[in-house]
Structure 1
Amino acid sequence: MQTEMPTLKELLAQREALQDQLNVARQRQAEIVLAEIVAKMGEYKISLAELMGHRNPVKATAPAAAAAVTTAAPKYRDAVSGATWSGRGRAPHWIADKNRDEFLVNA
C-alpha cells in the first residue's frame, strides 16, 4: 500500500501554518511572563531603574515616583491563557477585534 507524498507547495503551506501557530504561542507566553514580572516588581517594590541594573536610581519627585510605581488593575482576562490587560495601551492579540465585554474581569 503506497501513500502519496505531499507536494512541495503543500509542505510549504504546512510550514507557514505551523510558523503562525508558533508566533501566536510565543506572543501568548510572552504576555503571561510579562504580567508575572510586573506583578513581582510590584510585590517586591522593584523599580524599572533597579531592574535595568542601576544601583542608585535618581530620586524623583513624589508625584512622578508614585506614577511610575502605580500599575492599573486588570480589566480584561483571557480565559484560555489567563493573561490580563488593563485596557491601556495596545490591545493584546487575544482581545483584538473581539467583543471586549466577554473578557471583562468581575469586580
Structure 2
Amino acid sequence: MQSEMPTLKELLAQREALQDQLEVARQRQAEIVLAEIVAKMGEYKISLSELMGHSVLAKAPVATVTAPKYRDTTTGATWSGRGRAPHWIADKNRADFLVGA
C-alpha cells in the first residue's frame, strides 16, 4: 500500500496553521516573561528609568556632539579636532583648514 504525499496546497495550509500556532505561543510566552520582569522590578524596587539605563548609579559616558573645528575646502568634510586626524589634514598646516578662518 502506497501512501499519498500531500499536495503543495495542503503543505502550504499546514505551514500557515503552524505559523499561526507559533505566533500565539510566542505571544503567550512573551506575556509570561513580561510578568516575571515586572514582578522582579517590584521585588527589587527597580524603576523603569533604571531599567532603561538612566540610573543615577550608571556612570556610562555620554556621547556629545562637537562642532567642527576644521573643514576640507575641497570635499567639505569636517573634523572636530578630536581623535585621529583625517587623511585630508594629516601632515598639513591645520591653520589652513580652520572653520571661520
State the TM-score bracket (shorter-chain normalisation): 0.5 to 0.7
Percent identity, aligned pairs only, is 89
How far apart are the structure 2 equivalents of 1:55 and 1:22?
36
What number of residue pairs does the alignment pair up? 57
**Unmatched segments (≥5 aa) in structure 1:** 58-107
CA distances 1:36-90 after superposition (whole Å, capped 9, x unpaired): 0000000100000110111229xxxxxxxxxxxxxxxxxxxxxxxxxxxxxxxxx
Which structure: greater helix fraction?
Answer: 1
Q: CA deviation at 1:3?
A: 0.8
CA distances 1:83-105 after superposition (whole Å, capped 9, x unpaired): xxxxxxxxxxxxxxxxxxxxxxx
**2:10 pairs with 1:3:** no
TM-score by length of 2: 0.54
- Tell me which residue corresponds to 2:53: 53
Q: CA deviation at 1:32?
A: 0.4
Q: CA deviation at 1:23?
A: 0.3
- Tell me which residue corresponds to 1:66: none
Q: Higher relative contact order by CA 8 Å / sep ≥ 6: 1 or 2?
A: 1
Matches of residues 14-93 of structure 1 in structure 2 within 5 Å? 14-56=14-56
Secondary structure, aligned partner of 1:54: coil
Structure showing greater Rg? 2
Runs (4+) of structure 1 exceeding 3 A deviation are none
How far apart are the structure 2 equivalents of 1:52 and 1:43?
17
